[in-house]
């Protein structure tokens, strides 16, 4: 037993009570400081990332089963596998596209669509054509100078997405 | 002491218990430390175990706490009205305290209480719980050590803290083996408040002690073992009324001179002198009321400084039990 026995005083209890009251008034039971805010933010970001990943995986599985292209909230990710869009999108580029209104496209828009034979193609709209009944179709062409205009006219029902941008440094 | 009804649950049942440990008596006979001990601890009861020898009370206490085996008899802990048969369950239902080793010295009392009693919970609830614990400590009279480091507490204070911790455990019976400890008057008063708290939680407490005062102040029932036999088992009130033969205590500067006149007017009574006090034991068959006693003294020109009516003390009762057994 130490010589000096320090007993609890009224002041000690008062100070403790104040500490407890201040702890109770904060949301998390402790004083929120910068460290805690950082922790909360990093936790939120981490949760969001994990959430997105889970969604993505679920989406991919679901789409794979249905035979469609995977997308998140209407955004598509495509890999350029041919040189038809060179130099705008060289082979190996990844582009981000988004679902769009296929009846409201303009000359110059780059779209991803299915050919009549079922291949997925990304080309630029060269011209917009209207028939006698008011129907719309598009003439497309790859950016590569060696390309000629596509023979098939593109009907809106085969359009999947409009290209937004190319993922840089890839 | 509180009057109990029959609806109380039986928590601990002891029948014809004989200890494994033996000793040699004056006749060189080997006899068990104690035999034929029976008692029944119900919920909300506080029991005091005492004996002529500390070791006897200690062994009985250890058997009740499932810490020691016994030669024969029955010592059953009951849970929901059924006897517990497994050792594991017995230990879970009895909180046995005989030392203060489980208390960590590097915390203060409030922290220790939180550490040993509060389940891991969300931080926002901790502050509230801590405040409740602080209020509890203050209400029990432990405010003066509530934020003191445990390392600075006396052993008896640590025991009180352990008893309080036991109140938060799942155990219905708390067994305190305190034969080696002496509680101060202040500590006994705190203990009394803790005892009330134990009762409010529907638990029971069994204390083994060599301090009759502790039994007198805290316990509802008591067992006293003398020469290996159960010399008394019943309520403390009963013990005080039946066994304590001291009816009056007289204090006077010249107590020596009062002995002879008192002997002549109180035939069959025993008079014991202790410093300035005279203890008057009534072994006669007739009861004398205080009024009659005062009259008897004044008629015989005996005028002591103080006359005190003894309402019964556990200490006297135990002495009586030893003298007349």
pLDDT digits 0-9 by tens, A27-49: 555 556 677 788 889 999 999 99
Residue A105's pLDDT is 93
- B208 close to B50: Cβ distance less than 8 angstroms: yes
- Which residue of B152, B156, B157, B186 is the best one to mutate when testing the A interface, meaning the one whose CB has the most A CBs within 10 A? B152
Residue B194's pLDDT is 97
Dihedral, B138, B141, B145, B147 alpha carbons, nearest 10: 0
Residue of B1, B54, B268 lying closest to B177 (CA atoms): B54
Work out how many CB contacts closer than 8 A connect A with B.
49
Write out pLDDT tens, residues A65-115. Answer: 766 677 777 888 888 989 999 999 999 888 999 999 999 999 999 999 999
Token pair for residue B182?
A: 């002496």
Please state which of the ranges A147-151, A162-166, B88-92, B209-213 shows the lowest mean pLDDT: B88-92
Which strands, in side-by-side order, build the sheet including B277-282?
B269-274, B277-282, B246-251, B306-309
Residue B1's pLDDT is 39
Omega of the bond leading into B270 within 30 degrees of 0 (cis): no
Distances (CA, A) of B149 to A5, A8, B110, B288: 9, 9, 9, 54
Check B134 against A23: CB less than 8 A apart: no
Question: Rounded mean pLDDT of A114-129?
Answer: 92
Residue A32's pLDDT is 61
Residue B154's pLDDT is 94
DSSP state of A152: S
Nearest residue of chain B to residue A1 (CA atoms): B152
Residue A25 at interface with chain B, using a CB cutoff of 8 Å: no
Cα B259 from Cα B265, distance rounded (Å): 10
Angle between helices B236-243 and B314-323 (to 10 degrees): 60
Check B146 against A2: CB less than 8 A apart: no
Q: What is the ipTM of this complex?
A: 0.74
Residue of B43, B80, B93 lying closest to B200 (CA atoms): B43
Cα A109 from Cα A140, distance rounded (Å): 10
Residue of A51, A118, A39, A60 lying closest to B123 (CA atoms): A39
Spans of chain B, pLDDT less than 70:
1-7, 87, 120-124, 324-325
Cα A25 from Cα A46, distance rounded (Å): 27
Residue A63's pLDDT is 65
Residues of A in contact with B130 (CB under 8 A): 20
Which strands, in side-by-side order, build the sheet including B173-177?
B94-97, B173-177, B204-208, B46-51, B221-226, B229-235
Check B147 against A30: CB less than 8 A apart: no
Residue A17's pLDDT is 92
Check B148 against A6: CB less than 8 A apart: yes
Residues of A in contact with B149 (CB under 8 A): 6
Token pair for residue B193?
A: 């408040």
Cα B214 from Cα B315, distance rounded (Å): 10
Check A20 against B134: CB less than 8 A apart: yes
Token pair for residue B27?
A: 């006749």
Residues of B in contact with A20 (CB under 8 A): 127, 130-131, 134
Cα B228 from Cα B101, distance rounded (Å): 30
Residue A26's pLDDT is 65
Write out pLDDT tens, residues B244-273. Answer: 888 888 898 888 888 888 888 888 888 888
Residues of B in contact with A8 (CB under 8 A): 143-148
Residue B6's pLDDT is 58
Check A20 against B152: CB less than 8 A apart: no
Cα A12 from Cα B53, distance rounded (Å): 44
Q: Which of B124, B134, B148 sits opposite A28 (nearest CB)?
A: B124
Tell me if residue B81 falls in helix, strand or coil: coil
Min Cα distance B128 → chain A (Å) is: 7
Whether this model's pTM surpasses 0.90 = no
In sequence order, the β-bridge partners of residue B244 are none
Check A17 against B134: CB less than 8 A apart: yes
Residue B124's pLDDT is 61
Please state which of the ranges A143-147, A161-165, B81-85, B110-114 shows the lowest mean pLDDT: B81-85
Query: What H or E segment, with its residue span, contains residue A15?
Result: helix A10-25
């Amino acid at each position: 037993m130490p010589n000096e026995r320090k007993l609890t005083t009224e002041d000690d209890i008062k100070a403790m009570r104040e500490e407890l009251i201040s702890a109770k008034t904060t949301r998390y039971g402790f004083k929120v400081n910068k460290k805690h805010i950082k922790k909360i933010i990093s936790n939120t970001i981490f949760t969001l990332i994990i959430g997105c990943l889970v969604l993505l995986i679920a989406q991919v599985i679901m789409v794979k089963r249905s035979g469609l292209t995977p997308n998140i909230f209407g955004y598509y990710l495509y890999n350029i596998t041919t040189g038809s869009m060179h130099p705008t999108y060289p082979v190996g580029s990844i582009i981000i596209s988004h679902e769009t209104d296929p009846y409201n496209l303009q000359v110059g828009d780059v779209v991803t669509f299915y050919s009549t034979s079922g291949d997925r193609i990304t080309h630029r709209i060269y011209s917009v054509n209207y028939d006698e009944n008011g129907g719309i179709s598009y003439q497309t062409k790859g950016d590569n100078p060696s390309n000629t205009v596509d023979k098939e006219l593109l009907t809106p029902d085969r359009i999947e997405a409009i290209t937004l941008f190319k993922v840089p440094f890839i | 002491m509180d009057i109990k009804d029959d609806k109380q649950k039986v928590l601990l049942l002891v029948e014809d218990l004989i200890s494994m440990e033996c000793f040699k008596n004056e006749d060189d006979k080997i006899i068990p430390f104690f035999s034929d001990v029976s008692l029944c601890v119900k919920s909300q009861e506080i029991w005091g175990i005492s004996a002529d020898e500390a070791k006897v009370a200690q062994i009985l206490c250890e058997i009740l706490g499932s810490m020691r085996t016994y030669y024969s008899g029955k010592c059953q802990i009951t849970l929901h009205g059924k006897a517990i048969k497994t050792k594991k369950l017995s230990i879970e239902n009895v909180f046995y305290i005989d030392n203060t080793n489980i208390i960590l010295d590097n915390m203060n009392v409030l922290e220790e209480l939180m550490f040993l009693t509060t389940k891991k919970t969300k931080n926002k609830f901790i502050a509230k719980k801590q405040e409740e614990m602080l209020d509890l400590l203050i209400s029990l009279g432990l405010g003066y050590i509530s934020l003191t480091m445990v390392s600075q507490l006396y052993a008896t204070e640590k025991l009180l803290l352990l008893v309080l911790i036991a109140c938060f455990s799942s155990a219905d019976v708390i067994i305190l083996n305190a034969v080696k400890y002496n509680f101060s008057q202040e500590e006994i008063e705190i203990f009394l408040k803790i005892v009330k708290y134990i009762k409010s939680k529907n638990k029971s407490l069994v204390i083994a002690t060599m301090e009759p005062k502790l039994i007198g102040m805290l316990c509802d029932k008591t067992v006293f073992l003398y020469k290996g036999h159960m010399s008394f088992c019943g309520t403390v009130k009963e013990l005080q009324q039946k066994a304590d033969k001291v009816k009056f205590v007289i204090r006077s500067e010249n107590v020596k001179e009062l002995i002879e006149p008192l002997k002549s007017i109180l035939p069959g009574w025993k008079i014991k002198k202790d410093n300035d006090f005279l203890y008057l034991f009534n072994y006669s068959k007739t009861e004398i009321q205080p009024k009659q006693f005062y009259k008897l003294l004044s008629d015989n020109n005996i005028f002591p400084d103080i006359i005190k009516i003894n309402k019964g003390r556990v200490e006297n009762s135990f002495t009586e039990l030893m003298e007349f057994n």
